[in-house]
Amino acid sequence: MERNSAIVQRAVETIWNRGDLTMADGLFAAAYINHGGLISDLVRGPEAIKISVALFRTAFPDLSITIERLTAKGDTVELCWAAEATSRRVPIAAQRDRRRGRLTGTTLSTLADGKITESWTKWDHAGALQRLETVPLESRA
């Protein structure tokens, strides 16, 4: 169980926080699938992770994910996380509108043979879009 927790922790620290996309091949199974993430179910395998990380780190170069809790039970690891980054309102040229945002979520992953095989991610999609002001005012509840 400690081994599985260490694999998930390494994925967060090396891939998400440092942007080392090459590590995805060693930490994620070829048939890996993520449910509920940025490109949920569309791309499989380590490429899904590489694309997600590249998209997030392009939009938020100072992205930092903190592991708030990591719990392993057998081949399953629950990761409670908080992501922080500076957002810029559209257009990007409007540098004065930068603000630091925080998003929390939970990712439940299964592992086999030392690799992450499947994940389920839950986070507040609508709240995140509203905080970034990408959702029009009239559609906010």
pLDDT mean over 93-122: 83
To which residue do tokens 């090396």 refer? 14
CATH of the domain at 115: 3.10.450.50
Would you say residue 141 lies in a domain? no
Name the domain count of the chain: 1
pLDDT mean over 112-123: 94
Give every CB contact of residue 54 below 8 A, 6+ residues apart in sequence: 21
CB 7 within 8 A of CB 111: yes
Q: Are β-strands 115-123 and 28-35 bridged in parallel, bridged antiparallel, or unpaired?
A: parallel
Give the SS3 label for residue 24. helix
Identify the domain containing residue 123 by its residue range: 2-135
Lowest mean pLDDT among 2-6, 13-17, 41-45, 76-80: 41-45
